[in-house]
Amino acid sequence: MDLTVWRTFVTVCRLGSLSAAAAELHHTQSAVSRQIAGLEGQLGVPLVERHARGVRPTAAGEVFRRHALVTLHEADRAVRAVRDVRDGVSDRPLSVGATPSLAAGIVPEAVRVLLERTGPVRWSLFPALSAQLHERVAAGDLDVAVVTDAPPGLVADPRVDRRFLGLDEMVVVLPLGHDLAGRGPVPVGELADRTWAEDNDGSAALLRQHAARAGVAVRIDLTAADLPGKLALVATGHAIALIPRALTRALRADVTTVGLVDPPARGIYAITPRRDPHPRTAPLLELLAAAFDRPRVGEHREADVRGGESRATG
């Protein structure tokens, strides 16, 4: 398959319009339509569907879009690496992965300080969920990934090293003006009858387990495709949601947070490939560890990787 066509498809999905994609890519709209039709013919399934305001990916198209983004990202890295060799650039690029909440603030800030202290280096950031990041590190595509032990937990893998960085408590995000805004920590029982939104199974499991320990059940009635979508549901007053405290420094201006009594927490870990570690990994890990409060003695234990269970529920 021609990666140019993949790039066209991803652009169409991002902009939601064939004409807008054509303008950005300096193609005609008919050329973009032919490329998408040809790609659908190769795959044997419709990838986009029309609606009142443009186009959007079908279910199959959304799956292909996610994989296409990864492939295009790696293709761009390969081109840059070859050009670096051609141009005599000796510094090896640093490839960093992080879960979406950590990629929103803590990880980029740590890299900024790293570059100030050790000098410039070309680097890239790949946000994804922990399981996907694990596979990318094990395959050698990422030099380091910052992941969590939220359900289903971390797995033992001889291909990677794992380092505990700290604990990250969960908080509840609310729309501005919510009746609980500005209050101190609240028991989850006060929120049991509210509508909750979630964007991934791990966060939903943390919420349900925390509520069960308090003897209540919560209603997760709304599902978002990703973290920005979850925050949008909260900001517009449709729901409240559980988020990591690490994300609060990067929240949009139309939401606020409230703490929970005896909040659930997740462990934050860095995973790195055992072979050929990047020379800047070690100082980056020190900066990341400094971003989290260390647990009190006896408060932390390693994630139980047997059966995919996780320590992060306590």
User: Tens digit of pLDDT for each residue in 82-110?
Assistant: 877 777 655 788 999 999 999 999 999 99
Q: Which CATH class is domain 90-165+266-313?
A: alpha beta
Domain with CATH 3.40.190.10 in the chain: 90-165+266-313, 168-265
Using the predicted structure, report yes or no on whether residue 267 has a pLDDT greater than 90.
yes
Query: Cα separations (Å) of 244 from 74, 205, 247?
Result: 29, 14, 6
| pTM, entire model | 0.67
CATH of segment(s) 168-265: 3.40.190.10
Name the strand (E) or helix (H) holding 174.
strand 160-175
Read off the pLDDT of residues 21-54 as tens digits, 9 standing for 90 and up. Answer: 999 999 999 999 999 999 999 999 999 998 888 8
Q: What is the mean pLDDT of residues 203-220?
A: 94
**Residue 270, Cβ density class (10 Å: 0-12 exposed, 13-18 middle, ≥19 buried):** buried
Query: pLDDT for 232-255, tens place per residue?
Result: 999 999 999 999 999 998 899 999
How many angstroms separate the Cα of 169 from the Cα of each of 120, 131, 175, 181, 233?
A: 33, 20, 20, 18, 22
Q: What is the fold, at CATH topology level, of the domain defined by 3-71?
A: Arc Repressor Mutant, subunit A (1.10.10)
Backbone dihedral angles phi then psi of residue 231, each to the nearest 5 degrees: -65, -35
